[in-house]
Amino acid sequence: MKRLTIGMAAPGLLAIALLVDICSRFASYDYVSFRGFEALTRNGGTGLGGPFLRNATYKTTRAYGDLAAMGNLPQLRQYRPEVMTTDEWGFRNAPGAASAELGAILFGTSFSIGAGLNDDQTLSAKIAAYIGAPVYNAGGLDLGQERNLSRTIGRLHFRRRIAIVEHVETAPEPAWASDVGFAMRLEDHFGARYRDVRLGYSEVKGWLNKSPLNLALFKMFKSIQDDVILPNAFSDRVLQGELGNGDQMLFLPSQVSPGRGPTAVADAVVSWRRLDHYFRARGFDLLVVLIPSQYRVYAPLLKTPPPKLNDDTYVDDLESGLRAAGIEVVNPTRSLMAAARDGLPSHRYIYWRDDTHWTAAGVEITAREIANRLSR
């Protein structure tokens, strides 16, 4: 009987590992994801404008925040239920939303998409409830791509042509790019047939690039990097602060030191004026909604507030610059800060303590201010 050696066993183990990895790729990403964003971006978008898998639903009772995940801090997770649904274009809407007669369309970042929230808690859902008309959630669409933007607007039906664009202060302004890429030229030539091919390519790319087994193993390895078995190599990716009521809250370093230049406001106004011109040319009224970072809202409530906290007036300066340029703007910063201060003694929050995003309470405040502006 031959003696088993490492040289003989290694190829067999590699073959088994490869087979298990291939088989795992047929499994749903839901089983290894901690929130809908992670699960529904497996394919890198549909190629039809939306950032997510189309006609998909993600459900969990144990979603938690991106900052707790980034910093590998399971002790600070805030578990909550999450239901996330996408439409046929890969945007976060109920099926058939694209065929409704709309009161507005919402663009923006993960705040508009509703990270960590249920479908009925998103900004578009709350605005719709206030104005009594559907609001299409096009959050995640790259506003810098004119063709994608025009294509999305062109397939929708509007009762009121209102474009609401949410902008979180730490995100870059839309960088305009009106050139038509190779993929769009193919679509112009082949039409719906190319879109079917593009969707198939998206499915294959997601299958090849994202392995549930690989993600599961990575999370298992992170679980032992707990500063007991192994050092936590991820802890410096987030900052941790203690609020005045004793609760811990996590922040992104980029929120604390955004590194803006002296012309940041002027440069931003130029970008927004370009976007305003685009929408006006198509009969839309633009409403820009400025969202303060979690740090701007909660840093004054830390047990030891940082010095020179009030020196950063970027959000207010941008609001003034947009108004001077004739652009309608909503800035709910003061309302959010007041609600954060009032809720601190009873541990009620408008931003998650383990996440960069707001809770349903923060959405409610902002949606109400948007609806009030629209009514005027």
**Tell me: the pLDDT tens digits for 303-361?**
998 877 777 899 999 999 999 999 999 999 999 999 999 999 999 999 999 999 999 99
CB 108 within 8 A of CB 167: yes
pLDDT band at 179 (very low <50, low <70, confident <90, very high): low
Are 302 and 243 spatial neighbours (Cβ–Cβ below 8 Å)?
A: yes
Tokens of 92: 């976060």
Phi, psi (5° rounding) for residue 198? -65, -40
* Annotation: CATH topology of 69-75+88-179+233-375: Rossmann fold (3.40.50)
Confidence of residue 227 (pLDDT cuts 50, 70, 90): confident
Looking up tokens 């604390």, which residue turns up?
Answer: 256
- Name the pLDDT band for 182 (thresholds 50, 70, 90): low
pLDDT (0 to 100) of residue 4: 55
Question: What is the distance between the alpha carbons of residues 331 and 92, in angstroms, rounded to a whole number?
Answer: 24
> Looking at residue 338, what is its pLDDT?
97
pLDDT value at 21 more than 90 = no
Residues forming beta bridges with residue 329, ordered by sequence position: 288
Is the whole model's pTM more than 0.95, yes or no? no
What is the share, in percent, of the chain residues with pLDDT greater than 90?
59
Q: Give the tens place of pLDDT for each residue, 72-96.
A: 999 999 999 999 999 988 999 999 8
Pick from 54-63, 190-199, 223-232, 250-259: least confident = 190-199
Judge contact between 294 and 351, C-beta under 8 A.
yes
| R_g over Cα of the chain | 23
Q: Tally the C-alpha atoms within 13 A of residue 137's C-alpha that lie toward its C-beta.
A: 33
Residue 178 has pLDDT above 60, yes or no: no
Output the pLDDT for position 256. 87
Of 91, 90, 118, nearest to 107 (Cα)? 91
- Residue 54: pLDDT band by 50, 70, 90 thresholds? confident
For residue 180, the 8-state DSSP code is: -
**The pLDDT of residue 190:** 62
Q: Which residue has the higher pLDDT, 196 or 292?
A: 292
How does 184-209 read in b/e, with b if 16+ C-beta sit within 10 Å?
eeebeeeeeebeeebbeebeeebeee
Tell me the pLDDT tens digit for each residue of 124-156: 999 999 999 999 999 999 888 888 888 899 999
What SS3 state is found at 112? Answer: helix
DSSP string, 331-359: --HHHHHHHHHHHTTTT--SB-TTSSSB-
H/E run at residue 244 = none
Query: Strand 239-242 relative to strand 248-251: parallel, antiparallel, unpaired?
Result: antiparallel
Q: Which residues pair with 280 in a beta bridge?
A: none
Calculate mean pLDDT across residues 208-212. Answer: 73
Residue 249 has a pLDDT of 97
**What pLDDT is stored for residue 33 in this prediction?**
85
pLDDT band of 211, cuts 50, 70, 90 = confident
For helices 360-375 and 123-131, the axis angle rounded to 10 degrees is 40
Per-position DSSP letters for 284-311, written without gaps between them: PEEEEEEE--HHHHHGGGBSSPPTTGGG
Banded model confidence at residue 183, pLDDT cuts 50, 70, 90? low
Span 30-58, average pLDDT: 81
pLDDT of residue 295: 95
**Quick count: other Cβ atoms within 10 Å of Cβ 310?**
8
Given a cut of 90, whether residue 166 has pLDDT beyond it is yes
pLDDT band at 237 (very low <50, low <70, confident <90, very high): very high
Find out whether 288 and 322 touch, Cβ atoms under 8 Å: yes
Q: How far apart are the first and last CA of the chain?
A: 88
